[in-house]
Amino acid sequence: MNRKVLVTGGAGYVGVELVSSLLDSGFDVVVYDLFWFLSEEYFNKFGDSLKVIKGDIRDTVKLRSAMDGCSDLIHLACISNDPSCDLNPELAKSINYDCFEQIVRDAKASSISRFIFASSSSVYGLREEPNVTEDLELRPLTDYSKYKMLCEEILKEYSDESFTTVSLRPATVCGYSDRMRLDVVVNILTNFAVNRGLIKVFGGEQLRPNIHIKDMVRCYLTLLMAPREQINGKSYNVGADNYKVIDIAKIISKATNVNNIKVTPTDDNRSYHISSLKIKNELGFQVELGVEDAVTELVKHFKDGKIPNSFEDIKYFNVKYLQENKIDENSSRFR
Ligand SMILES: NC(=O)c1ccc[n+]([C@@H]2O[C@H](COP(=O)([O-])OP(=O)(O)OC[C@H]3O[C@@H](n4cnc5c(N)ncnc54)[C@H](O)[C@@H]3O)[C@@H](O)[C@H]2O)c1
């Protein structure tokens, strides 16, 4: 196929599954990551079509040289949720925003002709509209979401006939990955049900859109293959079920036979629901899996011991990992 895809954050929750699928689909792949949550050795099982580089995206010289010979860039690397960004705002800004424009500029000056950016559906903030579509004004409520919005704006400025850019605004991802995250809603609740016999729900009435990790990965492949004129300079929502958290709890209860659902009031009433019609109408992309599928697979993997020490091991929880490893804006810096 002669396409080589550079994936920043390729050793993250979405990244590892994406990399494996890209390789299966015949792409050459370069993973560029700091390997916070997964070791470089994990990738030894893949063949020569994969190159692995340990590097910081803020090291723009190193990242620029990783771009050589690549045709596409999928930019996933970041501090990837609100609490982790709030933990160290300077670190979050330096990774999620400050280096971004230089990365885009370098990509454009290199052999890369398609840049796919992992944004987030949280860019919309809290909305009353029944259908949150891409044309709505963005009202990000947190640093994490604000930097996603700002990066989308920067990226769009660089798009032209020879440099295709697109931003994806995914719902919250759920399901099993070889680099597991247990700090995203469906995975958190399933962990509690299977391993504590209890489903703890904070609030419950908030709507939370979700997407199965396999659909997430397929969506990036769709963007890689889409005709350039169809996607250039655009942003797309993508999600499956817009469930209330309490309904997610009920799905998990059914799948696990754990009926002990404990509802506690919360201050975090963020509620949003997204429309994924644009990506369906323009690119024919539709999700194939739902929360039920993610939960069934997770239950199996917990029972098979593939997610050991699921409450104790901090690698499953981004904010705890950053906190306990004392990662700040200098500690992970290249010199
Ligand atoms: N997981 C979700 O629910 C979700 C939803 C919407 C959007 N997204 C976006 O998708 C992308 C991937 O999310 P994820 O869940 O896989 O996150 P993750 O935290 O599992 O992975 C992020 C990866 O980036 C790497 N990284 C962080 N800072 C880096 C740096 N300075 N240099 C190089 N590598 C660095 C980490 O080591 C990690 O492997 C992110 O951009 C995230 O904002 C995720």
Two tokens at 176? 């099993």
The residue type of 335 is: R
Two tokens at 329? 């804006």
Two tokens at 118? 């992992």
Q: Dump pLDDT digits (tens) for 297-320.
A: 999 999 999 999 999 999 999 999
Angstrom distances, CA of residue 80 to CA of 91, 118, 212, 235, 322: 12, 10, 17, 19, 11
Which ranges of 67-182 does DSSP label H, i.e. alpha helix? 82-87, 89-93, 100-109, 143-157
The Cα–Cα gap between 173 and 208 comes to 11
If you measure from the C-alpha of residue 257 to the centroid of ligand 1, how many angstroms do you get, rounded to a whole number? Answer: 32
The Cα–Cα gap between 44 and 265 comes to 46
335 pLDDT exceeds 60? no
12 C-beta closer than 6 A to ligand 1: yes
Average pLDDT of the segment spanning 80-105: 94
The Cα–Cα gap between 182 and 184 comes to 6
Residues 6+ away with beta carbon under 8 Å from 290? 210, 212, 240, 241
Two tokens at 114? 């398609």
- Whats the size of the chain, residue-wise? 335
316 C-beta closer than 6 A to ligand 1: no
Q: Are 28 and 19 in contact (CB under 8 A)?
A: no
The Cα–Cα gap between 222 and 89 comes to 33
What are the respective helix, strand and coil percentages of the chain, to the nearest 5? 40, 20, 40
Q: Nearest residue CA, atom 27 of ligand 1?
A: 78
What number does the ligand 1 atom closest to the CA of 58 have? 31
* pLDDT for position 208: 81
Greatest Cα pair distance in the chain: 56
What number does the ligand 1 atom closest to the CA of 55 have? 33
Fold of 4-324: Rossmann fold (3.40.50)
Q: Which of 82, 83, 110, 80 is nearest to 95 (CA)?
A: 80
What number does the ligand 1 atom closest to the CA of 172 have? 3
Interhelix angle 291-303/245-256, nearest 10 degrees: 50
Q: Nearest residue CA, atom 22 of ligand 1?
A: 12
Q: Dump pLDDT digits (tens) for 156-192.
A: 999 999 999 999 999 999 999 999 999 999 999 999 9
Residues 6+ away with beta carbon under 8 Å from 160? none
Q: Which of 78-92, 164-178, 236-250 has the highest mean pLDDT?
A: 164-178
209 C-beta closer than 6 A to ligand 1: no
Q: Which of 40, 28, 30 is nearest to 7 (CA)?
A: 30
Average pLDDT, the chain: 93
Phi/psi of residue 103, nearest 5 degrees? -65, -45
The Cα–Cα gap between 115 and 130 comes to 31
331 pLDDT exceeds 70? no
Listed by start position, the domains of the chain span: 4-324
The Cα–Cα gap between 10 and 75 comes to 9
Q: Dump pLDDT digits (tens) for 254-295.
A: 999 999 999 988 877 667 789 999 999 999 999 999 999 999
If you measure from the C-alpha of residue 203 to the centroid of ligand 1, how many angstroms do you get, rounded to a whole number? Answer: 26
Instruction: Please tell me which residue, 58 or 324, carries the higher pLDDT value.
Output: 58
208 C-beta closer than 6 A to ligand 1: no
The Cα–Cα gap between 167 and 185 comes to 23
Q: Nearest residue CA, atom 28 of ligand 1?
A: 78
Two tokens at 265? 């009031």
327 pLDDT exceeds 90? no
334 pLDDT exceeds 70? no
10 C-beta closer than 6 A to ligand 1: no
What number does the ligand 1 atom closest to the CA of 121 have? 6
If you measure from the C-alpha of residue 80 to the centroid of ligand 1, how many angstroms do you get, rounded to a whole number? Answer: 5
